[in-house]
Amino acid sequence: MSRYVVVADVSSLPPGKGRTVEVGGRRFALWNLDGEFHAIDDACPHRGGPLGAGVLENGSVFCPLHGWEFDIRTGSCLSNSSRPVASHPTKVEAGQVWIGLPG
């Protein structure tokens, strides 16, 4: 069961845009992929680069530090399959983007 929290106004993240958001001391990379919002853990498992500040291309976000590639929909790492990041459910309600947190 997830507990949803508001993290952004829908209008603040047009398609193709993303950023790092912080909720309860945790940081998430939130991206708008063709009108659908996706959230993964923000810290790159290589050396902690902020995935919310990366570059989005064809459904992948590229880490801004050394370019590791992650599928924004699943968190899988296409550069190193043994180093995925967690992905988190999102929803849009009342003009806001919400992220579902465990518990």
Candidates 18, 49, 52, 75; binder of ligand FES (CB under 6 A) is 49
Binding of ligand FES by 18 (CB under 6 A): no
Q: What's the rounded Cα separation, in Å, for the pair 52 and 61?
A: 8
Q: Given the rule CB under 6 A, which of 8-16, 31-39, 44-52, 87-95 is the region that contacts ligand FES?
A: 44-52
- Is residue 75 within 8 A of residue 86, CB to CB? The reply is yes
**DSSP assigned state of 49:** -
Q: How far, in Å, are 7, 56, 60, 72, 81 from residue 36 at the CA level?
A: 15, 13, 14, 11, 24
Q: Given the rule CB under 6 A, which of 24-32, 33-41, 59-67, 85-93 is the region that contacts ligand FES?
A: 59-67
Total binding residues for ligand FES by CB under 6 A? 10
Binding of ligand FES by 63 (CB under 6 A): yes
- Is residue 45 within 8 A of residue 55, CB to CB? The reply is no
Binding site for ligand FES (CB under 6 A): 44, 46-49, 63, 65-68
